[in-house]
Amino acid sequence: MRIGIPRESKAGETLVAATAKTATQLQGLGYDVVVESGAGALADQADEAFADAGVTVGSADDVWSSDIVVKINAPSADEIGRLRAGATIISMMAPARSPELVEQLAAQGVTALAMDAVPRISRAQSMDVLSSMANVAGYRAVVEAAHEFGRMFTGQVTAAGKMPPARVFVIGGGVAGLAAIGAAAAMGAVVRAFDVRPEVAEQVESLGGTFVEVDFESEVSTDGYAKEMTAEQEAATAAMYDEEARNADIVISTALIPGRPAPRLVHEGTVAGMKPGSVVVDMAAANGGNVAGTEADQRVVTEHGVTILGYTDLAGRLAAQTSQLFGTNIVNLFKLITPEKDGVLTLDMDDVVQRGVTVVQDGSVMWPPPAVTVSATPQAAPAAAPAPKEPKPALTARGKMAVVLGAIALFWLVNATAPDPIPQHFTVLMLSIVIGYYVIGKVAHALHTPLMSVTNAISGVVVVGALVQVASDDNLIRIMSTVAILLASINIFGGFAVTRRMLAMFSKGA
């Protein structure tokens, strides 16, 4: 079968659905590929690049008469009219919001696969174009903000004075938000972030951000998407948004609830209270914006000197990167629908991913697909697939009080009854526990591996000390030394076991 890659007709579009590399990969699956002349020009994919890779460069007619047409944006009415009956069109389609498009595609008697309808399950992540684009867009949002912001992101102490780091507040910890957090933290900013889904807190922290805690009822998402906030949740978060935005130099907002207008989270009064020179990048601008004053595709400077960017083409501003990712998502889809690698597209409606993307099949409307009831969370932009967060075993206030009172009682008992020098040693031990609790509790996730090395070294010292004492005549010392050797050994050998398991995760196997 022949796959055609057209030039995008949407005004200002820079992306192309295949690069020379991904077109060659499609050919490796047995397809012929023809790319419209000039299709990749704005994504650093000149006609010569395709030709050099052995991919045919042809006319628009060559492309639109193909068995399969793959593009970025939904086809226009004219483009649908150019598809031959029985052809397959693959692109983003927003089928839930485009009933007319679905009807037109059905009337043309084609099969239509919507790349933006890939279910958010782990197995389909390699085909998830929305995640690919949001990842690039989140990164680019930080670059745009840095470009507008009048100071550096990283804090420095120089001979000419002290520069504080930029304070970035990210709203929404989905794919775009996590990419923004990672990029801003890597540039040296102090990053804080909030999401209504509590399960993303760990990912925020692992990327170098601080998750802003709000005391409100929330539930772990079962499909990777948030639900609309209740009135109580809105009330609980309103003051936090106001305070965080006013304290921030840069706000990047990405909050989205699928199928709904963007929730309005930062209100006019808050924007007016932000420092002059602050920058807002409202990534939800296309859906109405999270921030008051946002205008889609516009750069707005408020009368208080706050710049609000409502660009909706952030992924397209890194056209080469996004086209490569989109093209790779397409190749991964084709791997799934070409099981024999024979250049023949075969749709399996029993497969949840293939069923999920099929909007129209041979002229029959298939939208909407049955709901996917698999638990999944969106992929952390640059990190591995996320695991649902274990609930934290938090100590209640009453529990904490009981521990403190118990410790004071024990401290008093030992000091009152034990012979010298046990009280001195015991005092040092108690102080070490308190200091250690606060110091280690504040260590960033990213530093846990070096922290483990330090605790292993401490365990080594404990073993040496306990070995010296284990031959003592005093039974109590002998017992305590034996227990110390046992516990420290568990830490040392456990460390080896964990390291082995971590290394095995990176091993490609034989």
Q: Which of 27, 65, 126, 225 is catalytic?
A: 225
Confirm whether 355 is a catalytic residue: no
Confirm whether 128 is a catalytic residue: yes
User: Measured at the alpha carbon of residue 182, what is the angle toward residues 179 and 188, in degrees to the nearest 5?
Assistant: 140
Least CB distance from residue 255 to ligand NAD, whole Å? Answer: 4
Q: Is 209 near ligand NAD (CB under 6 A)?
A: no
Q: CA–CA separation, 234 vs 359, rounded Å?
A: 35
- Tell me the per-residue interface mask from 162 to 181 with ligand NAD, x by CB under 6 A, - otherwise: ---------xxxxxxx----
Which sign, positive or negative, has the C-alpha torsion 187, 192, 196, 197? positive
Nearer to ligand NAD, 264 or 335 (CB): 264
Residue 90's DSSP bridge partners are: 70, 113
Nearer to ligand NAD, 16 or 133 (CB): 133
- Tell me the per-residue interface mask from 214 to 253 with ligand NAD, x by CB under 6 A, - otherwise: -----------xx--x------------------------
Judged by CB under 6 A, the residue of 236, 257, 422, 470 near ligand NAD is 257
Q: CA–CA separation, 298 vs 144, rounded Å?
A: 13
Cβ–Cβ contacts within 10 Å for residue 399, how many? Answer: 10
Q: Is 196 near ligand NAD (CB under 6 A)?
A: yes
Contact present, 315 and 140 (Cβ < 8 Å): yes
Q: Which stretch binds ligand NAD (CB under 6 A): 256-264, 320-328, 391-399, 497-505?
A: 256-264
**Residues near 108 by Cβ (< 8 Å), separated by ≥ 6?**
80, 81, 83, 85, 363
Judged by CB under 6 A, the residue of 287, 338, 354, 358 near ligand NAD is 287
Q: Is 254 near ligand NAD (CB under 6 A)?
A: yes
Q: Is 198 near ligand NAD (CB under 6 A)?
A: no
Contact present, 60 and 6 (Cβ < 8 Å): yes
Q: Is 68 near ligand NAD (CB under 6 A)?
A: no
Q: Residue 406 is inside which H or E element, if any?
A: helix 397-417
DSSP letter for each residue of 77-139: HHHHHHSPTT-EEEE---GGG-HHHHHHHHHTT-EEEEGGG--SSGGGGGG-HHHHHHHHHHH
Residue number of the CB atom closest to ligand NAD: 174
Least CB distance from residue 249 to ligand NAD, whole Å? Answer: 20
Confirm whether 438 is a catalytic residue: no
**Amino acid making up residue 222:** T
Return residues touching ligand NAD (CB under 6 A).
130, 133-134, 137, 171-177, 194-197, 225-226, 229, 254-257, 263, 265, 283-284, 286-287, 311-315, 378
Query: What residues are labeled active site?
Result: 120, 125, 128, 131, 225
